[in-house]
């Protein structure tokens, strides 16, 4: 029977032991262009056998799998991609408290058991008989407990609550997740088990190690992630219950830039590529699948397109200034207020080319991250969202 491709399910879990499949802990919404394939190297017998034919036989060689995932900039999933290529997640927890009193729709402030710092993006959630939630931004707190928290941005008229909440409803501010290189001889590099159900096969793909993560920023669309993996061949597994979150992806128009601490509005697009050379090691273990998948060292490259209205950007290339560059995408508060900040504290620009093919003059540049103590490597990334646990 013909099946509908859009019903395909994709899930993943971080493995405890590389190559040992685990059932999905996370469901992944993915875009067209996502590919996952078994790779079996062909062993061709082309021996000379007094024949006019070259190929005399064909056998299976070593087997592994390759993954190329295309996904929108969902902030709750981003931490898995960043951990897979950069390194461990250092968590700075947000405030987790409850309402000290009921809050009615139209209220311009809330009362909480714990104080919440000014300027925090919060999520209020009521899981009672009528489950509701919403996002808001806070003003200056007052009181000594309970605390009065004014709302400076909220979804109701005049920055007020849209919904009503019972006393005891959960209130949380964002958690900060900082990803940076921290690899030693004893580091066990993370691997992932994927599971797919396309209506024909239900397959598990163990031992997947990330080799590349592309992050694309364009004000005309969502930011996107493109992680790539190498892993074990697929095997039949059970299907799973799909439960993707309703978190909204980051929008490209919310992108801002600073070069050496100075803001720039000239950026048109920015593409980052984080890469580690990954090898599926086939050894003397008598198996067709890999002994292990090993990840090498990190490099970060980028391509930047900007409006060419002065020499500020091209001078970074001409003089090899190697200054800090920070690219930040901050979601509107009412959509969740998540943010992503990518920092290359020592960015080396290797090309600077004028582009005269468009209506207005543009500048195309290539850059690479250079090792530096501020990033403890070539780059660091800070993700802020409402996942309180470490990735």
Is 362 within a domain?
Answer: yes
Judgement on whether residues 139 and 223 belong to the same structural domain of the protein? no
CA angle 19, 235, 274 (to 5 degrees): 50
Region 104-124: mean pLDDT is 96
* Number of domains within the chain: 2
Is 53 within a domain?
Answer: no
Judgement on whether residues 273 and 124 belong to the same structural domain of the protein? no
Is 54 within a domain?
Answer: no
Q: How far apart, in whole angstroms, are the C-alpha atoms of residue 336 and residue 302?
A: 28
Cα end-to-end span (Å), the chain: 40
- The DSSP H or E segment spanning 313 is helix 312-318
pTM: 0.95
Residue with the two structure tokens 């897979």: 84
User: Under a CB-based contact definition with an 8 Å cutoff, are residues 100 and 116 in contact?
Assistant: no
Is 226 within a domain?
Answer: yes
Which of 7, 27, 15 lies closest to 240 in space, CA to CA? 27
Phi/psi at 324 (nearest 5 deg)? -65, 140
pLDDT tens per residue across span 269-309: 999 999 999 999 999 999 999 999 999 999 999 999 999 99
Judgement on whether residues 199 and 150 belong to the same structural domain of the protein? no
pLDDT(128) > 80: no
Is 18 within a domain?
Answer: yes
From 173, 188, 221, give the residue that closes a domain. Answer: 173
From 173, 199, 224, give the residue that closes a domain. Answer: 173
Domain enclosing residue 103, as ranges = 95-173
Is 51 within a domain?
Answer: no
User: Under a CB-based contact definition with an 8 Å cutoff, are residues 162 and 156 in contact?
Assistant: yes
User: Under a CB-based contact definition with an 8 Å cutoff, are residues 242 and 276 in contact?
Assistant: no
Judgement on whether residues 218 and 297 belong to the same structural domain of the protein? yes
Reported as half-sphere exposure (CB side, CA atoms, 13 A), residue 300 has a value of: 27
Is 125 within a domain?
Answer: yes
pLDDT(2) > 90: yes
Judgement on whether residues 303 and 205 belong to the same structural domain of the protein? yes
Look at residue 81 in the predicted model and tell me its pLDDT. Answer: 98
User: Under a CB-based contact definition with an 8 Å cutoff, are residues 12 and 191 in contact?
Assistant: no
Look at residue 129 in the predicted model and tell me its pLDDT. Answer: 74
pLDDT tens per residue across span 296-347: 999 999 999 999 999 999 999 999 999 999 999 999 999 999 999 999 999 9
Judgement on whether residues 161 and 195 belong to the same structural domain of the protein? no
pLDDT(130) > 90: no
From 157, 173, 189, give the residue that closes a domain. Answer: 173
Look at residue 127 in the predicted model and tell me its pLDDT. Answer: 85
Q: Compute the chain's Rg from CA coordinates.
A: 25
Lowest mean pLDDT, pick from 128-142, 150-164, 265-279, 296-310: 128-142
Judgement on whether residues 246 and 371 belong to the same structural domain of the protein? yes
Judgement on whether residues 226 and 327 belong to the same structural domain of the protein? yes
Judgement on whether residues 184 and 318 belong to the same structural domain of the protein? yes
Judgement on whether residues 326 and 217 belong to the same structural domain of the protein? yes
pLDDT(113) > 90: yes
Judgement on whether residues 198 and 304 belong to the same structural domain of the protein? yes
Which of 57, 53, 63 lies closest to 45 in space, CA to CA? 57
Region 215-243: mean pLDDT is 97
Judgement on whether residues 156 and 229 belong to the same structural domain of the protein? no
Is 49 within a domain?
Answer: no
């Amino acid at each position: 029977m013909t099946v509908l491709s859009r019903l395909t399910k994709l899930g993943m879990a971080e493995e405890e032991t590389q190559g040992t499949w685990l059932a999905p802990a996370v469901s992944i919404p993915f875009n067209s262009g996502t590919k996952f394939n078994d790779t079996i190297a062909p062993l061709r017998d082309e021996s000379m056998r007094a024949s006019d034919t070259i190929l005399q036989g064909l056998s299976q060689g070593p087997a592994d799998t390759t993954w190329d995932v295309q996904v929108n900039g969902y902030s709750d999933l981003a931490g898995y991609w960043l951990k897979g290529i950069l390194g461990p997640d250092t968590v700075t927890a947000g405030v987790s408290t409850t309402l000290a009193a009921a809050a009615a729709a139209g209220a311009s402030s809330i009362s909480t058991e714990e104080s919440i710092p000014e300027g925090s993006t919060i999520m209020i959630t009521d899981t009672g008989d009528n489950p509701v939630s919403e996002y808001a931004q806070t003003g200056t707190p007052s009181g000594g407990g309970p605390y009065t928290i004014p709302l400076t941005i909220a979804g109701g008229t005049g920055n007020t609550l849209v919904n009503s909440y019972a006393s005891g409803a959960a209130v949380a501010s964002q958690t900060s997740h900082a990803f940076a290189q921290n690899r030693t001889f004893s580091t066990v590099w993370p691997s992932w088990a994927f599971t797919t159900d396309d209506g024909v096969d239900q397959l598990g793909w163990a031992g997947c190690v990330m080799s590349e993560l592309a992050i694309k920023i364009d004000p005309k669309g969502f930011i996107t992630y493109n992680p790539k993996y190498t892993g074990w061949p697929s095997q039949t597994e059970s299907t799973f219950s799909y439960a993707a979150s309703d978190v909204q992806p980051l929008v490209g128009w919310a992108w801002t830039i600073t070069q050496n601490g100075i803001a720039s509005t000239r950026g048109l697009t920015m593409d980052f590529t984080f890469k580690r050379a990954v090898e599926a090691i086939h050894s003397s273990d008598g198996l067709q699948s890999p002994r292990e998948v090993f990840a090498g060292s990190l490099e970060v490259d980028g391509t930047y397109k900007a409006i060419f209205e002065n020499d500020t950007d091209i001078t970074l290339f001409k003089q090899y200034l190697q200054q800090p560059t920070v690219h930040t995408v901050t979601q509107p508060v009412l959509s969740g207020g998540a943010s992503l900040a990518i920092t290359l504290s020592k960015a080396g620009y290797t090309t600077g080319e004028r582009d005269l093919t468009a209506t207005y003059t543009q500048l195309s540049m290539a850059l690479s991250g250079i090792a530096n103590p501020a990033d403890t490597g070539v780059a660091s990334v800070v993700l802020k969202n409402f996942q309180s646990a470490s990735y």
